Structure 1
Amino acid sequence: MHPLTALSAVWVMPNHTPTEALALLLRWTHFVAGITWVGLLYFFNLVNVPFMKQVDATLKPKVFQYLTLPALQWFRWSALVTVFVGFWYWAQIYVAADARRMGVSPLGTIALFLVVWIATWAVLYLTIVKMAPSGWVLGAITTVLVIVAGWLFVKFTPVGQDDNHVLSIGIGGGFGLIMMLNVWGIIWRNNKAIIRGTLAGTPPANAAVLARQAFLASRTNFFLSVPLLFFMATSYHYVIFGS
């Protein structure tokens, strides 16, 4: 742990060890950022999408400027903070602790997590951007991909085979990583192009294509959020893997 991190943690919670204080800070930062992110995800999918279908075209620039764009800023940064802090917490508090207990390096499990879930997202990205399938087809592809990815992680992780925390978060956190990459790689990028073009009076020629891709990515995130929350909860409240 970096000395400044340890010092800050102890200063905030002097009755805890540096590791305990850091764990508490990371967990609550993860919770607050995650609530912000998922709350905005549900807002966009359940409220904003049907709302924008009813808004008069002349009003859309104002909505984009004063509602959608600020909301997207909170959305993308809360997604990044949620995943970064959650990954830090999981890797240091659970994976590294198990690795010390086993006398091995935690890097194998961390690398496996990143490779499996980033590769899964890459396939989803190409599916959305190159194929733009129907929602049902994309849902089926996503389901197969995340099941395979979860199985690969649980089957081959060198650390934490008997640890419910490592395995549950290794799956739920993988969903979160996919969702965050969707936010930055498709949702934010495409919406930024549409909104800034509209505000400048020159919307992109492929605005409909960009909007469709962003919609598919957002819907994917919406449905992935359900198993994500399930596996995050089971990591602490209900043992489904290991002990």
Structure 2
Amino acid sequence: MAKFLGSLGNALLVGFALLVIVIFAFHGGTDAPTYMQWLFRYLHVLFGVMWIGLLYYFNFVQIPTMPTVPAELKPAVSKYIAPAALFWFRWAALLTVLMGLVIASHPPQGISSYLVPALTFQHPYQMIGTGMWLGLIMAFNVWFLIWPNQKKALGIVEVDADAKAKAATTAMMFSRINTILSIPMLYTMVTQQAGLVS
């Protein structure tokens, strides 16, 4: 069992096989448009958990721990762990946003698209609109501020020592800004979906 589950691919295969069982057990008779809405909402949450989970990993684990890591071990983090984590981090951010846009522009039958009303803070979509804007700002930060600066800080893009230090500080600052924004963003998503805001 340990050998089988030692492979991430095997674990994911089992997880998605269980997902298919759950889908057919509980949603086998659901009409296609409703089911697709559920599927995109599920993917939005799945990618969002990966995105925010990695954001919190960077801010709660990696950044605070790096000063205590012996100098000879730091290259293992900067050359192997951080680039892999940043790969999943940035693509999870993009896929979270894309799934959210699909949900807002193709809601369940009987509900009009709320993409534009939410983004323009029209009633009753002010709460979800706030969350959407926070998520868009965070995704922008990931792709256009954190990732380009991390490439310099990690040596993926070669720059001089001063530029590397400045890039590391900039990446950390925007990672912290995203952590700050994630707190109200998650609240707006949960309360809107829970029907607490009308």
* TM-score w.r.t. length of structure 1: 0.64
Unpaired runs of 5+ residues, structure 1, are 1-10, 100-105, 114-152
- Measure how far apart 1:188 and its partner are: 1.0
In the TM superposition, what are the counterparts of 1:183-198 in structure 2 within 5 Å? Answer: 183-197=142-156
Q: TM-score, normalised by structure 2?
A: 0.77
Aligned residues: 173
**Cα distance change on mapping 1:15 and 1:238 into 2, 3 Å:** closer
Please give the alpha-carbon distance, in whole angstroms, between the structure 1 residues aligned to 2:87 and 2:72: 23
Name the structure 2 match of 1:229: 186
Equivalent in 207, 210, 219 of residue 164 of structure 2: 207
Q: Closer, same or farther in 2 for the Cα pair 1:107/1:220, shift >3 Å?
A: closer
Equivalent residue in structure 1 for 2:138, among 170, 179, 187: 179
TM-aligned CA distance change 1:28 to 1:65, over 3 Å: same
Q: 2:105·2:115 contact (CA, 8 Å) conserved in 1? A: no
Distance in 2 (CA, whole Å) between partners of 1:62 and 1:35 is: 25
The 8 Å contact of residues 83 and 180 in structure 1, kept in 2 or not, is answered as: yes
Aligned with 2:177 (options 220, 223, 227): 220
Q: Secondary structure at the match of 1:97?
A: coil
State the match for 2:76 in structure 1. 62
Partner of 2:15: none
What do the CA deviations read for 1:92-123 (whole angstroms, capped 9, x no partner)?
A: 217x9336xxxxxx67537xx2xxxxxxxxxx
Cα shift readout 1:160-206 (whole Å, capped 9, x = no counterpart): x2x3xx332211111111111101111111111221358x7x65541
Equivalent residues in 2 for 1:81-230, closer than 5 Å: 81-93=95-107, 97-98=111-112, 108-109=116-117, 113=119, 153-154=120-121, 157=122, 161=123, 163=124, 166-197=125-156, 205-230=162-187
Return the letter of the residue paired with 2:192: S
Runs of 5+ unmatched residues, structure 2 = 1-22
1:203–1:108: structure 2 CA closer, same or farther, 3 Å change rule?
same
- Residue aligning to 2:16: none
- Cα separation, 2, equivalents of 1:221 and 1:107: 22
SS in 2 for 1:98: coil
Query: What fraction of aligned residue pairs are identical, expressed as a percent?
Result: 35
- Alpha-carbon distance between aligned partners in 2 of 1:62 and 1:43, rounded to the nearest angstrom: 17
Which deviations, in whole Å up to 9, do the C-alpha atoms of 1:181-239 show, x marking residues without a partner? Answer: 101111111111221358x7x65541111111111111111011110111011112242
